[in-house]
């Protein structure tokens, strides 16, 4: 359910971005909408590069880079543990991916990205809602990484799990290889509850047998 909900968020964020770009293209080409004179306005701008016009005209390269980043973001999302403390990271990744796809759609179908938000007071480069998704989410991710999460919270990024199932499918083992502080690898093994139960039962039987033997010996001596 969580993944489905996040996917719906992802679709809604992209739809909102595309809707605002459509409004900008339809209404702002000739007449910018000034909110505060000399400070802030909505204006129409076609950006055939990345942020601040970097890599202008390199549309194919930007498309390929975006696909690569999206692939990495999806892999990261799927590797995140199910613990609720990671919910913020999941939402952040949804926003980043939505922003990347929003601008990717523009580049694929138009050959440029529609920008329309302009802070004239500081002459900040014109940007759009998708840029807000990516930039603000990235800043929040950095803040959480520095002040909320601990180093051990990100061990899942450097661990590998291997499962071995027996023929009857009842027993399995899981090994995790984790990088320690010195760069060496440490192996941790986890065994399922059925194995532990069998070991405990075997120990109990041995203890019971020992107790019975001791009781028999005492009875023989008494006789």
Task: Tell me, yes or no, whether 27 and 125 share the same domain.
Answer: yes
Task: Tell me, yes or no, whether 164 and 140 share the same domain.
Answer: no
Token pair of 197, please? 């139960």
State how far the Cα of 90 lies from the Cα of 140, in Å rounded to an integer: 12
Q: Is the pLDDT of residue 191 over 80?
A: no
Task: Please report which confidence band the pLDDT of residue 220 belongs to, taking 50, 70 and 90 as the band edges.
Answer: low
Number of H helices, E strands in the chain: 5, 6
CB atoms within 10 A of CB 102: 25
Active site residue 17: no
Q: One of 83, 106, 123, 131 is an active-site residue; which one? A: 131
Task: Tell me, yes or no, whether 169 and 137 share the same domain.
Answer: no
Task: Tell me, yes or no, whether 114 and 199 share the same domain.
Answer: no
Q: Which residue range forms the structural domain that includes residue 72?
A: 2-156
Alpha-helical regions (H) of 39-86: 59-79
Task: Tell me, yes or no, whether 135 and 164 share the same domain.
Answer: no
Token pair of 81, please? 């543990």
Which residues contact residue 192 at a Cβ distance below 8 angstroms, ignoring those fewer than 6 apart?
171, 172, 173
**DSSP code of 43?**
E
Active site residue 204: no
State how far the Cα of 70 lies from the Cα of 68, in Å rounded to an integer: 5
pTM above 0.75, yes or no: no
Q: Point out the domain boundary residue: 117, 141, 156.
A: 156
Q: Is the pLDDT of residue 172 over 70?
A: no
Q: What is the pLDDT of residues 38-91, one digit of tens each?
A: 999 999 999 998 876 677 778 899 999 999 999 999 999 999 998 899 999 999
Task: Tell me, yes or no, whether 149 and 206 share the same domain.
Answer: no
Task: Tell me, yes or no, whether 96 and 178 share the same domain.
Answer: no
Token pair of 217, please? 């010996």
Q: One of 17, 115, 168, 199 is an active-site residue; which one? A: 115
């Amino acid at each position: 359910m969580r993944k489905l909900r996040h996917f719906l968020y992802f679709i809604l964020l992209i739809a909102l971005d595309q809707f605002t770009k459509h409004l900008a293209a339809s209404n702002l080409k000739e007449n910018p909408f000034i909110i505060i004179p000399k400070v802030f306005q909505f204006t129409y701008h076609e950006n055939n590069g990345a942020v601040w016009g970097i890599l202008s005209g390199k549309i194919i390269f930007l498309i390929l880079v975006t696909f690569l980043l999206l692939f990495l973001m999806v892999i990261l999302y799927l590797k995140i543990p199910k613990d609720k403390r990671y919910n913020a990271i999941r939402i952040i990744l949804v926003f980043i991916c939505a922003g990347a796809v929003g601008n990717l759609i523009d580049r694929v179908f138009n050959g440029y990205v529609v920008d329309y938000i302009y802070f004239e007071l500081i002459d900040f480069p014109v940007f759009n809602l998708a840029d807000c998704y990516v930039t603000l989410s990235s800043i929040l991710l950095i803040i959480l990484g520095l002040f909320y999460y601990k180093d051990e919270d990100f061990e899942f990024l450097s661990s590998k799990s291997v499962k071995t199932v027996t023929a009857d499918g009842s027993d399995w083992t899981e090994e995790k290889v984790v990088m320690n502080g010195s760069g060496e690898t440490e192996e941790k093994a986890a065994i399922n509850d059925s194995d532990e139960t069998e070991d405990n039962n075997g120990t109990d039987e041995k203890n019971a047998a020992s107790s019975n033997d001791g009781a028999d010996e005492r009875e023989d001596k008494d006789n």
